[in-house]
Structure 1
Amino acid sequence: MVALNPGYHRELHRAAGALADRLTDVPDPQVVDLACGSGASTAALARALPEAELLGLDASSGMLAAAGAKQWPARVRFEQAVAGELDLERLGRGSRDGVLTCYLFRNVPEPLRDVAVAEVFALLRPGGWLVVQEYSVAGNRGARRVWDAVSHAVIIPLGALLDRNPGLYRYLWRSVLDFDSVARFADRLVAAGFTDVSHRTATGWQRGILHTFVARKPEPQP
């Protein structure tokens, strides 16, 4: 299904590039790919940040096995972890220069969403950057109509045909509808302590549906 979305990898590389652009002055940056899945976002990071030490974290042992089966440089490693329940001391509180997370927060239960954002804030060093890529259509009627049409005409039927798991793709459709609006998620970032919060949407059919947020953990005030 990913292969049938022509913008999927392009947008992952754009998100990884957005993080890389903000770490140009950091030697050998320490970066986390939170919710790394089977490693597509990690590969985008490895390409954008060739000198970075990359840690991919995911809740799914199956996804981690798929990621670990691929060829990686020694600077890339993977561990199992659940957003909202991260062991911050083990992972290194305040030790990371950047965090990329793609398609995570929509899947975190709403009562734990602020907890998960706060965990990312705690992982970052002062001055570190967070880049989030996520679907959101709340409050945007045009984007909602496009998402409904694409989901029911393409995503769910192909999920039934190719993966024989239409329930997974119905969940995808519904989870996007239920997620925060762009403004609500940006407010979560600000409430957690992030500054310099910015946002852009994707191109193509995903315009207004797929979004990339960028935010910085501020330096301590003198």
Structure 2
Amino acid sequence: MSLLRDDALSVAFDQAAARYDLLVAASPGYHGHLRRSARRLGLPDAGRGARVLDLGCGTGASTAALLSVAGEARITGVDASAGMLGRAAAKDWPVGVDFVQASADRLGEAGVHGPFDAVFAAYLLRNVPDPDLTLARVRSAMAPGARIAVHEYALGGRAVHRALWTAVCRTLIMPLGRAGGDAGLYEHLWRSVLGFDTAPEFAARMRAAGFTEVRVLPLPGWQTGITHTFVGRVAA
């Protein structure tokens, strides 16, 4: 099976939306890791007065992670999947949180305009057709000095990381996906991670896009060497 792209990937997420929260809840550390990456944005004063863009917000797990550390921020959640976004929007959110359906590289066409003080992108860049174009357009929507945190499956580069990822997918993630009728989406997940940048490569991609102070931060537990937080800034 080849990777899902563009409309086919959005349709797969639409179809999986009703079961998505249950599946990620079965992943040890999933929500805690998102909160850790959100903290790494380092927003002061609980985000008071900050405009935060939550790219690839899905059903709202990343939005909730942002609120846990920046409850005073104004958060715009964006996702290309109508099904995932509908699940997110149906949840109970405080004033200042809104959701918009849009592709990450076409924010302006959907009425999403900066400047944003921070961007959080979880499990997104691996799925866009052109990561360099997306990073460039996201950077153009950020204010001088704005911060970015990318939370992504990007393997550390060692053979053991590829082997562990494949073992977890084949024994847990893909069987759960098949049981829920979403086999194609979770085979895509497995293959997309193997084919994506390693952590050092993605950090270099961020630097090439013009982000400064780029750092690669590990996450604990079984995801060590598999999932990372990439933080950076726009020059002031």
The verdict on a shared fold, with TM-score over 0.5 as the criterion, is: yes
Q: Distance in 1 between matches of 2:184 and 2:84?
A: 19
> 2:138 aligned with 1:136, yes or no?
no
Tell me the SS of whatever aligns to 2:40: helix
Deviations for 1:45-77, whole angstroms, at most 9, x for unmatched residues?
112111101100110111111011100111100
Aligned counterpart, 1:167: 184
Q: Distance in 2 between matches of 1:72 and 1:17?
A: 19
Tell me the SS of whatever aligns to 1:50: coil
> 2:96 aligned with 1:79, yes or no?
no
Q: Distance in 2 between matches of 1:165 and 1:47?
A: 30
Aligned counterpart, 1:6: 28
Tell me the SS of whatever aligns to 2:143: strand
Deviations for 1:175-213, whole angstroms, at most 9, x for unmatched residues?
000111111111111111110000111111111000100
For residues 69-218 of structure 1, what are the structure 2 equivalents within 5 Å? 69-87=90-108, 90-93=111-114, 95-109=115-129, 112-137=130-155, 139-161=157-179, 163-218=180-235
Letter in 2 for 1:4: A
Note the C-alpha offset of 1:92. Answer: 2.5
Aligned counterpart, 2:20: none
Q: Distance in 1 between matches of 2:109 and 2:142?
A: 10
- Where in structure 2 are there 5+ consecutive unaligned residues? 1-22
Tell me the SS of whatever aligns to 1:46: helix
Stretch moving more, 125-134 or 82-91: 82-91
Change (3 A) 1:127 1:158: same
Tell me the SS of whatever aligns to 1:28: coil
Change (3 A) 1:29 1:147: same
Change (3 A) 1:15 1:69: same
Note the C-alpha offset of 1:160. Answer: 1.3
Note the C-alpha offset of 1:124. Answer: 0.9
Letter in 2 for 1:128: A
Partners of 1:18 and 1:131 within 8 A in 2: yes
Q: Distance in 2 between matches of 1:16 and 1:207?
A: 17
Partners of 1:129 and 1:216 within 8 A in 2: yes
Partners of 1:56 and 1:77 within 8 A in 2: yes
Aligned counterpart, 2:37: 15
Q: Distance in 2 between matches of 1:217 and 1:101?
A: 15
The alignment yields a C-alpha RMSD, in angstroms, of: 1.6
| TM-score (norm: length of structure 2) | 0.86
Q: Distance in 2 between matches of 1:196 and 1:38?
A: 30
How many residues get paired? 214
Q: Distance in 1 between matches of 2:72 and 2:175?
A: 42
Partners of 2:135 and 2:206 within 8 A in 1: yes
| TM-score (norm: length of structure 1) | 0.91
Letter in 2 for 1:16: A
Aligned counterpart, 1:53: 74
Stretch moving more, 77-86 or 52-61: 77-86
Stretch moving more, 181-190 or 80-89: 80-89
Q: Distance in 2 between matches of 1:25 and 1:6?
A: 27
Partners of 1:138 and 1:180 within 8 A in 2: no
- Where in structure 1 are there 5+ consecutive unaligned residues? none
Q: Distance in 2 between matches of 1:26 and 1:45?
A: 9
Change (3 A) 1:208 1:138: closer
Partners of 1:130 and 1:215 within 8 A in 2: yes
